[in-house]
Amino acid sequence: MVGAAGMLGRAVVAEFEAEHEVMTATRKGDEVAYGIDLTDARSVRGVVLRAAPELIVNCAAYTAVDACETDLESAFAVNAIGPKNLALAAAAIDATLFHVSTDYVFDGTKVGAYIEYDRPNPTSIYGQSKFAGEEEVRRHAGRYYIGRVQWLYGPGGRNFADTILRLADEKPSLRVVDDQFGCPTSTLDAARQIRLLVEEGDPGLYHMSARGRTSWHGFARALLDAAGRSDYRIEPCATVEFPRPAPRPANSELRNLNLELTIGDSMPPWEDALVPYLERRNA
């Protein structure tokens, strides 16, 4: 497990630990976690050869979307060269690689949900580096899965849901973008889908998004309603009112077509994950 300290990585470790032996790799390792530098091929190969896993799940990524615009070298080093190094090391020991990717590989101009067979056209450095990582995995791994996720939130990491709940305790009202659309996806559900895919599904490219569609404003409103804050005021606003260095896809909606056609799409509607997330967060 690479990227075990991250928000999705923690959920994946917890999901697999019940029935599998899990070894974790992070940037700083100890006797339990292997220390790994994804950008260093020798470091990656050394860790993989020592651990000798049957499956490598890569949740590590440079996800600071705006920072990527001015730190191109780091973005491609982590998001493209890192997966390449993992793919080569996995192929060397005949291990399976599961690589996590993103909706940012699309430009967001499509009307309707993106499927796995739509042509990527990333418009940000982050999206370009993540798509490059997909290509490196395809090129160098023997047996691989690529799972695209979007609008991730969950316990144990910085994310939109936690930010909204925190700001609602600090401010009398909020303004949230209402013209970007996608599918808020819980890390708990994404981790479960990763396990199901490697246990039951064939290798390949999959979308692993919660079902349904909403805006960031709609997500925030539903989240606060579920948290018992229906009286809290959230005003909708446009993306142009909050300019950011990196372009955001106006439409990030993913359809899990390959899940539907193979093992079945068990990802829940996005609304169904809010209460379990709040219960876990408050525990």
Cβ-based neighbour number of residue 269 at 10 Å: 10
AA identity, residue 77: A
Confirm whether 126 is a catalytic residue: yes
At residue 33, the 3 state secondary structure works out as strand
Q: Which residues pair with 34 in a beta bridge?
A: 25
φ/ψ of 65, rounded to 5, equals -55, -45
d(CA 82, CA 103): 19
141 burial via Cβ count (<10 Å: 0-12, 13-18, 19+): buried
> Between the CA atoms of 82, 84, 90 and 95, what dihedral angle is there, to the nearest 10 degrees?
100
Helix (H, G, I), strand (E, B) or coil at 166: helix
Catalytic residue among 34, 104, 126, 206: 126
> Pairing between strand 214-215 and 152-153?
unpaired
Are the C-beta atoms of residues 243 and 66 closer than 8 Å to each other? no
Active site residues: 126
